[in-house]
Amino acid sequence: MLVEHKKLRSCHTSKIYQALLTAISDKTKALEIRCRALEAAAPLSLPQVKKAITEAYQGNNSKLKISAIYAMGKNCDHCWLPTLLKELASPDTEIRYEAAEACAELGAEEAIPSLKELIADPDIDVQFAAIQALGKIGGNEAKECLEQCLDGPSEAIYQAAEQALRELETWEDPFAFKA
């Protein structure tokens, strides 16, 4: 994106890309650095980035796996969708949260049934992520679900659903925006 907007010279792109890939694979680096490098590299739709995401996801480190799920959404390739749909049912709260966010990034309508279930998740952050994802994905089924949230007993869920509906409606008709 920086290259496209002339904020970064294309001659520097490969150096940055190589530095990110090196940081991801360097097991002597702090885990947080490796995770952030993976997340930063994710928008680069290159085979080496996809390989790094896959390796992080399949590895034994839960933090790298969570970063890999985040990266799947930012990579914007629907090849990750089966993995993300599976992870929406993960016993791990952070994984469910990141999978919901990633499905939103992909605009994955296939995720709507699972996201609807996550609105009743025991974790409030997962509930919010599911609601926000439905707002980003859009469509009639998502809209109906969000409207049903307005009838529930939780004020926090009501507010989240109301915000998601505003976002959904903005995308449906961008010229109807109200300040």
Contact 24, 38 (CB under 8 A): yes
CB-based contact 48:28 (threshold 8 Å) = no
Per DSSP, helices labelled H in 26-139 are 31-41, 47-58, 62-75, 81-87, 93-106, 112-118, 124-137
User: What length is written for the chain?
Assistant: 179
- Residue ranges of the chain assigned to CATH 1.25.10.10: 1-76, 79-172
**CATH architecture label of 1-76:** Alpha Horseshoe (1.25)
Evaluate if residue 2 carries a pLDDT over 60. Answer: no
120: three-class secondary structure by DSSP:
coil
- Which CATH number is correct for 79-172, 3.40.50.880, 1.25.10.10, 1.10.1580.10, 3.40.50.300? 1.25.10.10
pLDDT for res 4? 46
- Residue 118: CB atoms within 10 A of its CB come to 24
Beta-carbon contacts of 122 under 8 Å, excluding residues fewer than 6 positions away, are none
Question: What phi and psi, each to the nearest 5 degrees, are found at residue 100?
Answer: -65, -45
What does pTM read for this prediction?
0.89
Amino acid in the structure at residue 107: G
pLDDT band at 170 (very low <50, low <70, confident <90, very high): confident
**What gap in Å lies between CA 112 and CA 176, rounded to an integer?**
25
Asked whether residue 135 carries a pLDDT value surpassing 90, the answer given is yes
Query: Average pLDDT of the chain?
Result: 92
Report the distance separating Cα 45 and Cα 173, nearest Å: 30
The answer to whether residues 53 and 84 touch, using CB atoms and an 8 Å cutoff, is no
